[in-house]
Structure 1
Amino acid sequence: MKISFQLIRNLIKTSFLGFFLATNNFCLCIVGYVQKFLLKINLNEITPQLIVIPAIAVVFGRLFCGFICPFGIIFEWTYKLRMKINNSKILPKVNPKIHEKLIYLKYILLIIGLYLTFKYGSYVICTVCPIGSFVGLSGTVISFILLGLLLIGGYFIPMFFCRYFCPIGAFLGIFSAKPVFKIKSNDKCNKCRLCEMKCPMQIDILDNMDEKECIRCFQCVTACKKGGLNYGK
């Protein structure tokens, strides 16, 4: 029996999600997850994460996003649920002029997050968060509200958080701007652009492939039945 590549990828991502939940007491605080990642980017100490994660991005692109990130698979399930409910095969698009500006928001959030983390230390983003003090909610309640809002956004805009808000994606994007292994069209491509219709990150794959925004979900490669896209050097 032939096992599809996407099935294997989903099994890998689901396994990492299960591992993440089991080792974090089933906590799904996305802010805490981002802060924990930023704390590992410690410029005063060369940690394994500071070497391995960027190195993977330099060679393979944002493979972490496509295969490991536990929240990535949740947001992927969200937009695919909408497609199934609407019986749609084409992903909705954000106005390109707006989209091209919004993708830089996550880089601004990365700079702010790194500044707060390096200046004030562990989990400072939760400490300075104004929402709790204004409405009297605990961090746990806020985290579920935030995740719920992002899931709603992800239902209408595929990979909403990953596209526009994820500082981790921004950090990896810096190192994966020109990776060794790239997604490229070949002579089998007939410019039907089905790959772009299937891309949850709304990337112009054929004319202006933006590697730093590609999360290596390989939906584009899978969608092309003619083998018009390759992933390699």
Structure 2
Amino acid sequence: MLNITRYLWVLVLIVTLGGLWYPYLGYVMAVVMLTLMITAVFRGRWFCGNLCPRGSFNDFVLNKISRKKNIPGVLRSLWVRVPLFILIMSLMIYRVSIVFATRNMFEKIGVILVSMCIVTTVAAILLGGYYNSRAWCTVCPMGTAQRIIGGDRYQLKMAHDLCIDCKKCEKICPMELTVRDIGNNPDCIKCGRCVEACPKDALYF
């Protein structure tokens, strides 16, 4: 996790609230989407754990009120995640196609991006408020895209001979992953909290 990570949640408020009056703020969403697609090629879901504004919101704001129930396994299923990705992306492309080449096109596209941010933020609050605050991140379309693009990149490694099976790493993992088997888990968000929590320095990237 980067030093700036804990402050990025402010961007969620700026876009979801400020975007109601100034739609061009929606283009922050476009920048975020483009950036995460690029980083995914090299580091998989690293963006989710280090630069994602909503991930920061989930960790440092939503986590304070979350009931912290275990994330349902169904949210991890690609049978749910891929169709959701296709649905949301299709709706966005369709809405953009309607306003394309019309008057005030860029402002209208901004409205579309802001509305998408609002809808997904509400979904994140509902899921994260009841389950683990990162519940949305397990089903997030952008997280799924990063998994598909580079889920096998920049994997967490473990020196098994040093591990004392204290499970501190798993208790602190925001994605509720089984860290001992994480070498092949493309949904690791590379936040590094498990590495910091390990008393034996058995984990590393």
TM-score (ref. length: structure 2): 0.69
Of the three residues 84, 92, 95, the one matched with 1:109 is: 84
- Residues 32-47 of structure 1 correspond to what in structure 2 (within 5 A)? 36-37=29-30
Q: CA RMSD in A?
A: 3.9
The structural deviation recorded for 1:215 is 1.6
Residue 53 of structure 2 corresponds to which residue in structure 1? 70
Aligned partners of 1:203 and 1:210 also within 8 Å: no
Q: What amino acid is the match of 1:75?
A: N
Aligned equivalent of 1:184: 157
Structure 2 stretches lacking a partner, 5+ long: 100-113
Question: How many angstroms does 1:146 deviate by?
Answer: 6.6
CA distance in 1, matches of 2:116, 2:198: 41
Give me the whole-angstrom Cα distance separating, in 1, the residues matched to 2:98 and 2:17: 17
- 1:14/1:203 Cα in 2 relative to 1: closer, same or farther (>3 Å)? closer
Question: Is this contact kept in 2: 1:204–1:210, CA < 8 A?
Answer: no
Letter in 1 for 2:46: L
Identity over aligned pairs, percent: 24
- Aligned position for 1:222: 196
Unaligned runs of 5+ in 1: 1-5, 42-48, 125-139
- Normalized against structure 1, the TM-score is what? 0.62
What are the Cα deviations for residues 81-115 of structure 1, in whole angstroms up to 9, with x where unaligned? 258xx9xxxx6434xxx41x321323221111233
Distance 1:143 1:114, change over 3 A: closer
Q: What does residue range 127-206 of structure 1 map to in structure 2 within 5 Å? A: 147-148=121-122, 150-158=124-132, 159-164=134-139, 166-179=140-153, 181-186=154-159, 187-206=161-180
2:82 and 2:141 in contact (8 A); partners too: yes
Deviation of 1:153 after TM superposition, in Å, equals: 2.8
2:40 is the alignment partner of 1:57: yes
When structure 1 is superposed on structure 2, of 54-63 and 154-163 the one drifting more is: 54-63
Kept in 1, the 8 Å contact 2:156–2:182? The answer is no
2 CA distance for matches of 1:123 and 1:64?
A: 31
SS at 2:164's partner residue? Answer: coil
Cα contact 2:63–2:128 (8 A) shared by 1: no
Q: Count the aligned residue pairs.
A: 184
Q: 2:5 matched to which residue of 1?
A: 13
